[in-house]
Chain A
Amino acid sequence: MSTTTVQKTATKEEGEDWQPLIITFCCNWCSYAGADLAGVSRLQMPTNFRVIRTMCSARVDPEFVLRAFSKGADGVLVLGCHPADCHYIGGNYRTRRRIALLRMLLEQYGFDPERLKLEWVSASEGPKFQQTITDFVKLIKEIGPNPLKEEQEEQQH
């Protein structure tokens, strides 16, 4: 799907054909390989997500997540290695604390905190990647479009 079509469908506010846009951060060692496995295994899943590979889930600065929301992402998914499996020993412990705090913060901003999700996906868990994506897309479709994007669009008109 080309970028222009993504933007067109994603900005459509109402109606059944609104498609959420989800940013997925995958760590290089586990989750990106897991996503790769899901791909080569030809597991079917919605195409609403864009993967950004980081060396570790702890590389996902809170600023990345906030910027994703400010630029109109409807959901952000952070995927990393299972606890005790981090390639860098303790990166994912930092991530889970950050995500917990960020969710508290997003709630104070007025966002539904469930727009941000943390999940552990190992290199061998292609089906879990598929399941996580499918469930998250379904959840975001229930929650609806990013309210910040809607406000920005209203101001432009």
Chain B
Amino acid sequence: MGKIKIAQYWGAGCGGCDVALLDIDEKILGVAEIADIVFWPIAVDTKLKDVEAMPDGYITATLYNGAIRNSENEHVAKLLRKKSAIMVSFGSCACYGGIPGLANLTNAKSVLEYVYTKTPSSDQQNSKDPVFPQHETHTKYGDLELPVLYDTVKTLDQVIDVDYYMPGCPPTTNLINQFLGIVEKHVKEGVPLPPKGAMIASNKTLCDECTRKKTVKQVDRISSAFEVDIDPQKCMLEQGVICLGPATRAGCGAKCLEGNQPCRGCMGPTDQVQDQGGSMLSALASIYKVQDKETQMSEDDILKIMTQVKDPMGTFYCYTMPKSIIKRSVKERPRVKKEAAP
């Protein structure tokens, strides 16, 4: 029997997912035993035109990491979908938009303007006539083209049909091994693949996996991780550090918490929830201690307490903005003050 063919591609990501695939140690030899890598820009010298030349469905499985943020990401995602039998949304960016997804709070123009004129490392900081990357550039040697940066970052499944999801920033070696095991068993022994749309992770929340002791289940103040001397045995939230565990899918083995850092939610929400941020917001509000004079407090007093959460968007939607219910920022019109009717 011939080997299966796998491909990996990166969209708007950092490359960490590619490294994660190499991080499975000696298991990578097992991969080489059952599979040929036909396309993997970071490791193999195959060009896009080689992929274009492949017949449809030629690639057995493609692991696509990174969000869809420009025309090139979208083009390659669509091309690989056509050429692959199985498409795996690999990593938080592909599944939920990830960190690049936070760009949905602004738009392409502001992003370019900031990067090319305002960053301290930019040469154009005080330039009167700054230069920006253009989609098309005409030179005497010919026309050059760059991908178009989109205003809205999208997840992979908002652009193409996805078969399996593997969240994580990056997906842990455990999850990758689990997936490779499934594929290997399918190829060698004919064990059927999981149903389409399956998440290669647990469907419980992280608190289920976390070994820290939870006793009072109450928060009486909210602090940043660096402000507290964190007790490694005690629940993060009980110590006043926002940990996204209650709203995040398990499967990572609570590695950050083992390292005495709170969960930031890279595994995304569980199947029962669409909006991870809303879910965490709800959880945090529920366990925040009832004040002594609660009945005499106004809503403004409560707001003052809750502003201890400095940046709700960046905290609760750190990885899942493009997959949330609202998806991106909006712009209100100026208010119209209407005269009272006589």
Q: Could you list which residues of chain A lie within 8 angstroms of chain B, going by C-beta atoms?
A: 58, 61-63, 65-67, 69-70, 83-84, 90, 93-94, 96-105, 108-112, 118, 141-144, 147-148, 151
Q: Is A101 touching B312 in the complex (CB atoms < 8 A)?
A: yes
Q: Is B306 touching A101 in the complex (CB atoms < 8 A)?
A: yes
The segment from B50-58, B61-69, B157-165, B277-285 that touches chain A is B277-285
B 238-249 binary contact with A (CB < 8 Å = 1; else 0) = 000000000000
Contacts of B18 in A (CB 8 A): none
A104 in contact with B330 given A62-B278, A96-B299, A144-B335 (CB within 8 Å): no
Q: Could you list which residues of chain B lie within 8 angstroms of chain A, going by C-beta atoms?
A: 105, 273-275, 277-279, 281-282, 284-286, 288, 290, 294-295, 297, 299, 302-303, 305-307, 309, 311-313, 316, 324-327, 329-333, 335-338
CA A136 – CA B299 in complex, angstroms? 16
Contacts of B313 in A (CB 8 A): 105, 108-109
Q: Is B325 touching A67 in the complex (CB atoms < 8 A)?
A: yes
Q: Is B281 touching A142 in the complex (CB atoms < 8 A)?
A: no
Q: Is B326 touching A108 in the complex (CB atoms < 8 A)?
A: no
Shortest Cβ distance from residue A62 to the other chain B in the assembled complex, whole angstroms:
4
Contacts of B295 in A (CB 8 A): 83-84
Q: Is B275 touching A63 in the complex (CB atoms < 8 A)?
A: yes
Q: Is B338 touching A101 in the complex (CB atoms < 8 A)?
A: no
Shortest Cβ distance from residue A87 to the other chain B in the assembled complex, whole angstroms:
16
Which residue of chain B has its CB nearest to the CB of A119? B299
Contacts of B299 in A (CB 8 A): 96, 99-100, 118
A100 in contact with B332 given A63-B325, A67-B325, A105-B277 (CB within 8 Å): no
Contacts of A111 in B (CB 8 A): 330, 332
CA A112 – CA B334 in complex, angstroms? 10
Q: Is B281 touching A105 in the complex (CB atoms < 8 A)?
A: yes
Shortest Cβ distance from residue B258 to the other chain A in the assembled complex, whole angstroms:
29
CA A108 – CA B326 in complex, angstroms? 12
Give me 10 A-to-B residue pairs in the complex whose CB atoms sit less than 8 angstroms apart, sorted by A's number: A69-B325, A96-B299, A98-B281, A98-B286, A101-B285, A104-B307, A105-B316, A112-B332, A142-B337, A143-B332
CA A99 – CA B285 in complex, angstroms? 9
Which residue of chain A has its CB nearest to the CB of B300? A100
CA A109 – CA B322 in complex, angstroms? 12
Q: Is A100 touching B306 in the complex (CB atoms < 8 A)?
A: yes
CA A99 – CA B322 in complex, angstroms? 22
> Which of B297, B307, B326 makes the CB contact (< 8 A) with A66?
B326
> Which of B105, B311, B336 makes the CB contact (< 8 A) with A144?
B336
CA A84 – CA B312 in complex, angstroms? 28
A65-B278, A105-B277 given; 17 more Cβ-contact pairs under 8 Å: A66-B324, A83-B295, A97-B302, A98-B281, A100-B285, A102-B281, A105-B312, A108-B311, A108-B313, A108-B329, A109-B313, A109-B329, A111-B330, A111-B332, A141-B338, A142-B336, A144-B333
Q: Is B273 touching A63 in the complex (CB atoms < 8 A)?
A: yes
CA A111 – CA B331 in complex, angstroms? 7
Q: Is A63 touching B278 in the complex (CB atoms < 8 A)?
A: yes
A104 in contact with B312 given A93-B290, A144-B335 (CB within 8 Å): yes
Which residue of chain A has its CB nearest to the CB of B313? A108
Q: Is B105 touching A108 in the complex (CB atoms < 8 A)?
A: yes
Contacts of B306 in A (CB 8 A): 97, 100-101, 104
A147 in contact with B333 given A69-B326, A90-B290, A100-B306 (CB within 8 Å): yes
> Which of A93, A98, A101, A110 makes the CB contact (< 8 A) with B330?
A110
> Which of B105, B282, B316 makes the CB contact (< 8 A) with A61?
B282
Q: Is A66 touching B294 in the complex (CB atoms < 8 A)?
A: no
Q: Is B303 touching A103 in the complex (CB atoms < 8 A)?
A: yes
